[in-house]
Amino acid sequence: MDGEAAARRWVEGWTRGWRAHDPEPVAALYSAEAVFLSHPFRQPLRGSDGAREYARRAFGEEDAADFRFAEPIVSGRRAAVEYWAVLTSGGREQTLAGTTVLHFDEDGLVVRHLDYWALDDGARQPPPAWGR
């Protein structure tokens, strides 16, 4: 699978999983050997089980999420994908903005995932030309 198809598959899987608060579509995107870093300073999680556990925890903290992904930027088997989300938990809104850097294997599964993100109180709209 080429990088473009793998990146689009990743966006579709995360979209399905996040929308339903179901970690299974997310876990299916990662190889058994994947290294999953949800933030540069956190301990890495491993494999599809690590991705599943991360998604389960993250989805479990939310009552609702209004999110979007930008078009992936792809080079070979690497991709960067911006995301923007307004999360609601316990009646409190926060805005999450970030970028995921991905490396795919020849089958299109993620072997390395690294997120860079910021979180702020309140609901915010993306800046002009976000995701382009």
37-81, pLDDT tens digit by residue? 999 999 999 999 999 999 999 999 999 999 999 999 999 999 999
pLDDT digits (tens, 9 = 90+) for 104-121: 999 999 999 999 999 999
String of b and e for 113-128 (b: at least 16 CB within 10 Å)?
bbbeeeeeeeeeeeee
Q: What is the pTM of this model?
A: 0.94
112: its two tokens: 């390395």
82 and 68 in contact (C-beta within 8 Å)?
no
DSSP 8-state secondary structure symbol assigned to residue 14:
H
33 and 45 in contact (C-beta within 8 Å)?
no
Mean pLDDT of 15-42: 96
CATH number of 3-121: 3.10.450.50
What's residue 56's pLDDT? 97
One-letter amino acid at 117 equals W
